Structure 1
Amino acid sequence: MMRAPAEVRNATINTNSGNSQVYDHTTGIPPMPDYNGRVLAYTATAAIVASGVLQGVFQDWLLWAAACALLWPHIAHVISRRTFLHRVARIRQKMLFFDCLIGGTFMGLIGLVAIPSVSVAVMLMFSCLIVGGVRQWLLGSTLMLATLAATVALFGTASSLEVPTITAIVSLLATGTYICVSAFYSHQQARALLLAKTQIQNQREQSIALSHKLSKYLSPQVWQSIFTGERDVRLETQRKKLAVFFSDIIGFTDLSEEMEPEALTELLNHYFNEMSEVALKYGGTIDKFVGDSIMVFFGDPTSRGQREDAFACVSMAIDMRKHMKIMRQKWRSQGIKTPLEIRMGISTGYTTVGNFGAENRMDYTIIGKEVNLASRLESLAEPGEILISYETFSLIKDRIMCRDKGEITVKGFAKPVPIYEVVDFRRDMGPNRSFLEHEHSGFAMYLDSDKISERERKAILLALEDAADRLRLEEDLR
């Protein structure tokens, strides 16, 4: 007649007849399945019928109803688990509706005798609320009342709605036993769900922490595309037009002979960290670090169009060149006297990009003659110089001033390749430029007026005036 609360188990989940069960390993007590819940409810109802018949409250033929009540849970189990009905959606709720119909009929057959009828109704409503919530309770109550009304209309009510004390006690005990047992298992299942939720949360936090650790080995764009499902981790490549960037440090070999390995490693990591921040600011995909060299490309896995990708790449290079001046001043203050400069090369064209390697070890990178050209341009550049290919120049020339550097011969290119030197942004050229820098022995100045606040501007002016006064005083003393 009634069904147990929803079954849940926090270790092994089985789906059979639409029912999921969860076993609480912390208590060792399994949940009460539909079958056991229905057996308990119908046994309680059979006990009420037997007590009523023995005390003459119910007619003798209702003993057959008690026998049917003992058999129905087994029949319902076979119907819902062993027939095609186990594939029916929400079979649990539908079987409970059928129990409500049986319950309403039973209450009508006993003539709506007060305490037994209330006991059966309470068990039904309790089951509906636990299994399906308010909606199940409303629908189940409607079906039960409709069936009850129809049965009472056919057979009428009992001459007396009161029952003897023993029958009343049996009814209350039967109902109380069912509710207490169901509530106990519901409590155990709630604990199991809470434990499962805690375990899932812990696993989620561990997965997030692990993914963040793994992200250090991948470019953020690649890591994001993998973890959002946009990209599959498999051996595949594609042809795309990319802007490719190479840079290295001039003077690093000499510096490595002067410094201890630990100090050199700290300097190099600081350099890579600063340059990586600049690359990510412009949306570059950091491919790799090799020695003191950096390889970055634009246009995959995300792209803003060929022109914008090329412009972002050259803008990054200009920013890196400016940033290197700041870093050089900091290193000089730390006692590193070797003047470190970077040189850069940029090429734009079609490359093969994707996952290369083996199924168990892949590397996301690019190959092609444009990669070789960018590397060659970087090796030809002078200290602090940015050399770009003609393809790159054609995409950025309207916003960035460049100087013609002639042609070079590169392996893989049938004709000589025109190359250009990046001067600066056109907006920063002339008297209105925002960037100024001067370096001499004993003096270094780097000024980017666009990044200076009003408060900092006043402090800088005072410092410059103080420095100018001191220089004038020394000049007068001479």
Structure 2
Amino acid sequence: MISAPADLRNASSCASKALGPEPASGAIAIPPMPDYNGRVLAYTATAVIIVVGVLQDAFPHWLLWLLAGALIWPHLAHGLTRKTFLSRSSRIRQKMLLVDCVIGGAFIGLTGLVAIPAVSVALMLMFSCLIIGGIRQWLLGSAFMALGLVAGIAAVGPADSFQSPLLTSLCAMASTGLYICVTAFYSHQQARALMLAKTQIQNQREQSIALSHKLAKYLSPQVWQSIFTGERDVRLETQRKKLAIFFSDIKGFTELSEEMEPEALTELLNHYFNEMSEVALKYGGTIDKFVGDSIMIFFGDPTSRGLREDAFACVSMAIDMRKHMKIMRQKWRSQGIKTPLEIRMGISTGYATVGNFGAENRMDYTIIGKEVNLASRLESLAQPGEILISHETFSLIKDRILCRDKGEITVKGFTKPVPIYEVVDFRRDMGPNRSFLEHEHSGFAMYLDSQKITEEERQLILRALEDAADRLRAEEDLPDEIGKFG
């Protein structure tokens, strides 16, 4: 008559499959309580009510014929829903429960509406409807049960007395209570299993997030983001795009490597890469690779703001790196590193092949093409602290960045000499209104970027400069005082 709840069991089973094998300890197995078992239990409880009611003359004796139906129907329903076309029907469980409601309502009507047995059967039906389909199923089940009840009453009429003998009432209540308790127990077990599956999924999700963040350190953030959002497939594919390409290396690094211990050199190099990477990411650059003391970065893939903006961001990044390198050099000098480290940079703009190169089981996201070679060549020709750019890059940024013509060079892969330019600075930072000032001598270094200074920091810097000026003046006057007493 009634289908046992299995939605939670199905959901938990799916979650378990998604998680893979259950852990060896602490796992709660989902109890097997399918519709078939629940229906057998409910119809057996109803059969017991019929037998006791007939023996106590609460029901007419001909109702014993319903015992065969009560014992056969669960098996028949199981076969219909598993071995016939009904198995392909959507929401078959809810539909079969409505059939149970009609049968249950008809049984209540055929008993003549004897109160306690009628309420007991109705409780089993409504309990199952609420668990399986919620309020909607409960309303539909009530309507179908009412139809069955009306048909049963119309067939035999109401009983002479709506009261049932004590034993029949106790048997009806006990049968219904047993069904509800067993069903509630399995529902509780299913809820526990579902909570365990939810916890496992949450733990696995946290592990996956932690692992993805670890793996992300081996990829550029833009590439990692495009892969994890599904914008890019992880397969061997490339495309031609116009990119701004950047190369840099450290002038003097070879000499420094001969003076420093490998551990100290590694720490210095990692610090340099970390600082430069933060600058690159600030401007939206895709970090391709680190080779020795060299860095390769490009703009325009996997995201682009337009060729002009990409080129401007690339050159802006180079200028910022040059300024940042001066600050880092002063810090290294205070740590005892006397070799003057300078960064030199080259930038070109043009078409390159970008994408995944390599094998199916090991690929590298990078770029190739003659513009890559040009950027590398410009970097090798640059003087310490110099930024050399190609003509196309110059044409894209010349209105906002001041550059100096450096003539032409011959590069392999280019049929004609290539005009190159040296980046001076942002046009807005030239002249008396420039925001960045620098001054460096032995024993003194100053790098001032007024746009990045807060008002509180401004006052502290002014006091420090005033103290330094007073100290210099005092030391300047000291020889005169010594001469007077000499």
Which TM-score band (shorter chain)?
over 0.9
- Partner in structure 1 of residue 222 of structure 2: 221
Aligned mates of 1:198, 1:118 — CA distance in 2: 40
- Partner in structure 2 of residue 276 of structure 1: 277
Q: Is the 8 A contact 1:9 1:192 kept in 2?
A: no
What does the per-residue CA deviation read over 1:88-111, in whole Å, with 9 as the maximum and x for residues that have no partner?
A: 111111111111111111111111
Aligned mates of 2:14, 2:319 — CA distance in 1: 58
Please, which runs of 5 or more residues in structure 2 have no aligned partner? 16-21, 480-486
Aligned mates of 1:333, 1:131 — CA distance in 2: 74
Aligned mates of 1:69, 1:11 — CA distance in 2: 31
- Partner in structure 1 of residue 383 of structure 2: 382
Aligned mates of 1:13, 1:464 — CA distance in 2: 69
What letter is aligned with 2:412? K
Q: Is the 8 A contact 1:45 1:120 kept in 2?
A: yes
- Partner in structure 1 of residue 295 of structure 2: 294
What does the per-residue CA deviation read over 1:47-93, in whole Å, with 9 as the maximum and x for residues that have no partner?
A: 11111112222122211212101111111101111111112111111
Q: Counterparts in 2 of 1:10-89, with a 5 A limit?
A: 13=14, 26-27=27-28, 30-89=31-90
Q: Does 1:135 align with 2:142?
A: no
- In the TM superposition, what is the alpha-carbon distance from 1:151 to its structure 2 partner? 3.1
- In the TM superposition, what is the alpha-carbon distance from 1:11 to its structure 2 partner? 7.6
Q: Does 1:161 align with 2:153?
A: no
What letter is aligned with 1:164? P
Name which of structure 1's ranges 77-86 and 237-246 shifts more when overlaid on structure 2.
77-86
What does the per-residue CA deviation read over 1:288-342, in whole Å, with 9 as the maximum and x for residues that have no partner?
A: 0000000000000111110111010000000000000110110011011111000
Aligned mates of 2:405, 2:29 — CA distance in 1: 80
What letter is aligned with 2:281? L
Structure 1 residues 165 and 203, CA gap change in structure 2 (3 angstroms): same
* Aligned partner of residue 433 in structure 2, secondary structure: coil
- In the TM superposition, what is the alpha-carbon distance from 1:172 to its structure 2 partner? 1.0
What number of residue pairs does the alignment pair up? 470
What letter is aligned with 2:3? R
- Partner in structure 2 of residue 5 of structure 1: 5
Q: Is the 8 A contact 1:108 1:151 kept in 2?
A: yes
Q: What percentage of aligned pairs have identical amino acids?
A: 80
When the two structures are superposed, what TM-score results if normalisation uses the length of structure 1? 0.96
What letter is aligned with 1:217? Y
- Partner in structure 1 of residue 171 of structure 2: 170
Q: Is the 8 A contact 1:10 1:195 kept in 2?
A: no
The CA RMSD over aligned residues, in Å, is 1.6
Q: Does 1:116 align with 2:126?
A: no
- Partner in structure 2 of residue 190 of structure 1: 191
Q: Counterparts in 2 of 1:293-372, with a 5 A limit?
A: 293-372=294-373
What letter is aligned with 1:359? E
- In the TM superposition, what is the alpha-carbon distance from 1:156 to its structure 2 partner? 2.1
- Partner in structure 2 of residue 421 of structure 1: 422
Q: Is the 8 A contact 2:410 2:416 kept in 1?
A: yes
What letter is aligned with 2:214? K
Aligned mates of 2:203, 2:241 — CA distance in 1: 41
Structure with more of its chain in helix, by fraction: 2
Aligned mates of 1:90, 1:325 — CA distance in 2: 71
Q: Does 1:439 align with 2:440?
A: yes
Aligned mates of 2:475, 2:395 — CA distance in 1: 51
Please, which runs of 5 or more residues in structure 1 have no aligned partner? 15-21
What does the per-residue CA deviation read over 1:83-140, in whole Å, with 9 as the maximum and x for residues that have no partner?
A: 1111211111111111111111111111111011001000001101111112211221
What letter is aligned with 2:183? S
What does the per-residue CA deviation read over 1:24-49, in whole Å, with 9 as the maximum and x for residues that have no partner?
A: 99455623110000000011111111
Name which of structure 1's ranges 2-11 and 330-339 shifts more when overlaid on structure 2.
2-11
Q: Is the 8 A contact 1:387 1:419 kept in 2?
A: yes
Q: Counterparts in 2 of 1:230-249, with a 5 A limit?
A: 230-249=231-250
Name which of structure 1's ranges 192-201 and 377-386 shifts more when overlaid on structure 2.
192-201
Q: Does 1:209 align with 2:196?
A: no
Aligned mates of 2:192, 2:390 — CA distance in 1: 66
* Aligned partner of residue 444 in structure 1, secondary structure: strand
Structure 1 residues 170 and 282, CA gap change in structure 2 (3 angstroms): same
* Aligned partner of residue 415 in structure 1, secondary structure: coil
Aligned mates of 2:321, 2:28 — CA distance in 1: 62
Aligned mates of 1:29, 1:377 — CA distance in 2: 67
* Aligned partner of residue 308 in structure 1, secondary structure: helix
* Aligned partner of residue 414 in structure 1, secondary structure: coil
* Aligned partner of residue 229 in structure 1, secondary structure: coil
Q: Is the 8 A contact 1:10 1:192 kept in 2?
A: no
